[in-house]
Structure 1
Amino acid sequence: MKILIIEDEAEMSRNMQTTMEKENYLVEVVSSYKEALSKIGIYDYDCILLDISLPDGNGLELLKILKDKGLSDAVIIVSAKDSLDDRILGLNLGADDYLPKPFHMAELNARVKAILRRRKFDGSNVLEFSNLKIDIDHHQVKIDGKELELNRKEFDVLLYLSINKNRLVSKTALAEHVWGDNIDQADSFEFIYSQIKNLRKKLTTAKALPEIKAVYGIGYKLISQ
């Protein structure tokens, strides 16, 4: 899961990032309206944590841009502005939740999980596809009830393909979602090929019915045999 934190308070930003990374989310952080506008114009995120009081602009304008473009990124507003008008405006503009500062990081974590469950997994903690079962909260994969050992990136690749099962996922989209904007520094997609190769081998050995199909030159699709 890929999270964008838009927050100009350094200590708050660090605490939020640490909390999200402990849950094994891929986290990117920006501290200004300009940086945030650049990010949401290029990349997709599963959840955006948005402070509406930024030094160079209003976060609600970013929310409006997201929704006007029809982007599906979930948004939780995290703000010291706790007026009823701000809450109503943010929710009317399309925010999924509004968390006033100060808040406990445990509550932030719970709200992120709740939104991801609702948006990505039909309200469940578990995603199932044929004899494959993925427990999102515990980062656990089982085939026919037997646990499959995966490293973090293999898990992230499988989860993203499972969320998009039976749909073609481009190499670029997969790379951005699992590795973040650091892929801009990569010369090739060799690192993706390596993870896919290892993941396929483990799925085959475990007799998984879902398989990763390569569409030459484009990307990958998780289908069931």
Structure 2
Amino acid sequence: MKILIIEDEKDMLQNMQDTLVKQGYIVESASDLDSAISKVGVYDYDCILLDINLPDGSGMDILNFLKKNDKTEGVIIVSARNSLDDRIRGLNTGADDYIAKPFHMAELNARVKALLRRKNFEGSDLLKIGNLCIDSEKHTSTTQHGEMELNRKEFDILTYLATNQDRLVSKSALAEHVWGDHIDQADNFEFIYSQIKNLRKKLKEVKADIEIKAVYGIGYKLTLS
């Protein structure tokens, strides 16, 4: 899962980033409105943590940009402004949640997990496709024939493909989602093929009735077999 933190307070940004990286998320950051707009205009995120009070403008402009461009990122407003008016304005503009500074990092982590459950797993920790059950909280993938032993990247790839079931996911989108936006500097995506090959083998071992289809030169699609 990929998260963007838009925050201009360096210590706060570092604490948030360290906390979320420890949870296994891909975390990127922006400290002003211009760089934030640049990132959300080019890349997709599962969750955006958005400070309203930025040095060169308002975080509300980010919400308006997302709405105007039909982007579906989940947004949690993170701001010292805890008045009811600011909260209502943010939620009405498209934010999914609001957390006021100061806050405990454990609460932030809980809010992020809750948003991701709502966005990707329809409010549950579990995603079921055929006989495969993916648990986002426990990071497990099982069928009645056993549990798949997946590393972090394999689990993230499987989850991303599963939440985009029957949709073609390009190699670049998959790489960016799992490895971060710096991956656009890669010369090729052979490392993805290696992970997909391992996933197919492990799906077969637990007799999962899903398959990962390759669309030559473009990407992959997860479907029921």
Please, what TM-score do these two structures have when normalized by structure 2?
0.97
Please give the alpha-carbon distance, in whole angstroms, between the structure 2 residues aligned to 1:50 and 1:12: 12
Q: How many residues align?
A: 225
Following TM superposition, the consecutive aligned residue runs of length 4 or more in structure 1 with deviations greater than 2 angstroms are: none
Please give the alpha-carbon distance, in whole angstroms, between the structure 2 residues aligned to 1:22 and 1:67: 30
Q: What is the Cα deviation at residue 21 of structure 1?
A: 1.4
Q: Are the aligned partners of 2:134 and 2:142 in contact in 1 as well (CA < 8 Å)? A: yes
Q: CA deviation digits over 1:119-149, x for unaligned, max 9? A: 2111110111111111101111112262210
Q: What is the Cα deviation at residue 206 of structure 1?
A: 2.2
Counterpart for residue 138 of structure 1? 138
Q: Are the aligned partners of 2:132 and 2:208 in contact in 1 as well (CA < 8 Å)? A: yes
Counterpart for residue 17 of structure 1? 17
Counterpart for residue 223 of structure 2? 223
Counterpart for residue 120 of structure 1? 120
Unpaired runs of 5+ residues, structure 2, are none
Q: CA RMSD in A?
A: 1.0
Counterpart for residue 88 of structure 2? 88
Please give the alpha-carbon distance, in whole angstroms, between the structure 1 residues aligned to 2:37 and 2:140: 35
Counterpart for residue 33 of structure 2? 33
Equivalent position amino acid for 1:118 in 2: R
Q: CA deviation digits over 1:197-222, x for unaligned, max 9? A: 11111111222111100011111111
Q: How many percent of aligned residue pairs carry the same amino acid?
A: 66
Whether 2:101 is the aligned partner of 1:101: answer yes
Q: Are the aligned partners of 2:147 and 2:206 in contact in 1 as well (CA < 8 Å)? A: no
Please give the alpha-carbon distance, in whole angstroms, between the structure 2 residues aligned to 1:140 and 1:10: 35
Please, what TM-score do these two structures have when normalized by structure 1?
0.97
